[in-house]
Structure 1
Amino acid sequence: MSTDEQQARQEWRSWHEERIGTVAAPYGPLSLMGTHWLSDYPDGRIPAVPGRWREEGGGVLLTATPEDGLSIDGKPLTGEVRLMADRGPIDGARVAHGARRLVVLSREGLLAVRDFDPASPARQAFRTIEATPYDPGWVLPGTFRPYLAERTVRVGNADGVERGLGLGGEITFEVEGAAHTLQAAVEPDGSLWVVFADATSGGSSYRFRFLRPAPPAEDGRVSVDFNRALLPPCAFADHFICPFPPPGNTLSVPVPASERNRIDA
């Protein structure tokens, strides 16, 4: 085994351990107890969530009494406060109820409140992430070809609702001499985001996974490293709204690499 491969294996082990720690963290994906769309609660009362949450002016008007036990920016909340979508770390969310964090979410013009609780049953039950050890054969050279303009396709989401998924181009690569293509979104930092399934999906691995290749080189060259395939957040909590793979992003070949399934005690 070459020195480069030894280093790659060690880097993968460190990455895998860090992933487990991130998932199991107090406000990681396992702590999500609910995603409550405000359109479902016109009176502003969300079951099991204290306070009154109403849509107003593109944001949320939260009203609380001392009995609700809510805090805003670390101080007890009594009265009203206007909130916008919270895009920061969950543990830094403005609204708290003891150890819980209540986060405003915005998707396609709709607002929701997410409830994160470190004491969630899913977090208590979690043991580890089943993953295939590093395999250099799944680091594939690829080429990214951007679209002339971003495309939006409608895809199903884990909560049963169809939403738009923005796509910026296609990655082509070969597996055992056969060409394959995956559509990808382009993130603000230039990196890519792929939602894909393969011949193991729904069997020996979760029904779909994410892949996040680094920004392509100027000539489009990109490394397609399936050793870094990720389970989506909805593999850890039912209340995430992960998009399913867009048409064409289900590979006909098995990809027995990286994260496969969540394992509970």
Structure 2
Amino acid sequence: MSSDCFGSDGALTGYDKWRQSRWEEIAGPEGKASLIAHRPITEPGQEVPEVPGRWTSTGFSGSLTLTAARAEDVSVDGHAVDGTVELTSASRLSFPGGRRGTIEELRGAHALAVWDPAAPTLVGLREIEAWPWDPAWAVKAEYRPADAGRLLEVTRLTSPSMRDTLPAPGDFVFDLQGERHTLRAFDVGSDTLLITFTDDTSGTDTPGMGRWLILPRPRHTTDTARIDFNRALIPHHVFSAAFPCPLPPRENHLPLRVEAGERAPVFEEEAAPGTTTGPAV
């Protein structure tokens, strides 16, 4: 985490910039609040209710194909589909009504993610409520690598819910409000670690499914890590139930109120299509 998280005049400026980039990530033109479906493809000729076409997967290590007629107005990487085409994780799909699709990989299977610029969760999102920035919530931490190959079992918020295992390469140990705490971290690729945690605000002031911290993986075991709870995120599932987000492991509960970071999304009951406003920072 960059040094702008800590107590200087530049820290608050850095936090405001982060809040704005976070708003764009969620509510921008291709924001995460526009996800309307995340469908595993498990059967030959499978249909997905949100978009046209028939989908066939031969497994994670195999191929994924889409079959559609030209009249269904489906395109892949800018080319109209009229027949059967093979897809990869780099494929970009377009559907009627401005909907788009991406291919993802989850639990050894292909999945289709469908995004809609007119999704109510996007057009009705007014702001992401957060506590005021406070440098007291930025702490130094020791990173302790785990045994090679450590996996932790988690529950993913799917319908129905499912169990999954994720690589958990290390723990962060730190002092907060006079007590020592440990949080386990998951490997989410690209030298990035994800901490999913709950605290005594969970289920009241913040989502019951906890919040997230995203940190760079320390390069050396002697490195001092920095954790800034001002940048605690509410999970993507809160913006769109289509996200199969993992619940925090039981060990990642902090027995105190972490009154820092994001609290909850604020939605308007009625919003004009395509209109959103920025967060109060």
TM over 0.5: yes
Equivalent residue for 1:71?
A: 75
1:18-51 CA-to-partner distances (Å, cap 9, x unmatched) read 2112211122111111111222x55422223101
Question: Cα offset for 1:192?
Answer: 2.6
Aligned length: 256
Q: Percent identity?
A: 33
Matched, 1:196 2:194: no
Equivalent residue for 1:36?
A: 39
Equivalent residue for 1:171?
A: 172
Distance 1:136 1:217, change over 3 A: farther
Give 1:205's aligned amino acid.
T
Return 187-196 or 30-39, whichever deviates more.
Answer: 187-196
Equivalent residue for 1:94?
A: 92
Give the alignment's TM-score, normalised by structure 1.
0.91
Give the alignment's TM-score, normalised by structure 2.
0.86
Question: Cα offset for 1:127?
Answer: 0.5
Equivalent residue for 1:89?
A: none
Distance 1:144 1:17, change over 3 A: same
Q: Secondary structure at the match of 1:27?
A: coil
Equivalent residue for 2:155?
A: 156
Q: Secondary structure at the match of 1:150?
A: coil
Cα pair 2:44 2:55 within 8 Å, conserved? no
5 Å matches for 1:238-257?
238-257=241-260
Question: Cα offset for 1:128?
Answer: 0.7
Give 1:231's aligned amino acid.
I
> What is the RMSD computed on CA atoms of the aligned residues?
1.8
Match of 2:22 among 19, 37, 42: 19
Q: Larger relative CO (CA 8 A, sep 6+): 1 or 2?
A: 2
Cα distance in structure 1, aligned partners of 2:40 and 2:163: 15
Cα pair 2:130 2:263 within 8 Å, conserved? yes
Equivalent residue for 2:87?
A: 83
Distance 1:251 1:4, change over 3 A: closer
Cα pair 2:130 2:261 within 8 Å, conserved? yes
Give 1:80's aligned amino acid.
T
Distance 1:12 1:73, change over 3 A: same
Cα distance in structure 2, aligned partners of 1:21 and 1:234: 17
Cα pair 2:50 2:114 within 8 Å, conserved? no
Return 189-198 or 137-146, whichever deviates more.
Answer: 189-198
1:204-241 CA-to-partner distances (Å, cap 9, x unmatched) read 01221110223436313111111111111111100000
Equivalent residue for 1:109?
A: 108
Cα pair 2:154 2:246 within 8 Å, conserved? yes
Matched, 1:136 2:135: yes
Distance 1:141 1:264, change over 3 A: same
Distance 1:4 1:198, change over 3 A: closer
Give 1:83's aligned amino acid.
L
Cα pair 2:7 2:135 within 8 Å, conserved? no
Cα distance in structure 2, aligned partners of 1:82 and 1:50: 16
Question: Cα offset for 1:171?
Answer: 0.5
Cα distance in structure 1, aligned partners of 2:178 and 2:136: 13
1:85-108 CA-to-partner distances (Å, cap 9, x unmatched) read 34xxxxxx5211142112222212
Match of 2:216 among 214, 217, 225: 214
Equivalent residue for 2:279?
A: none
Structure 1 residues without counterparts, runs of 5 or longer = 87-92
Cα pair 1:213 1:225 within 8 Å, conserved? no
Runs of 4 or more off by more than 6 Å in structure 1? none
Cα pair 1:59 1:85 within 8 Å, conserved? no
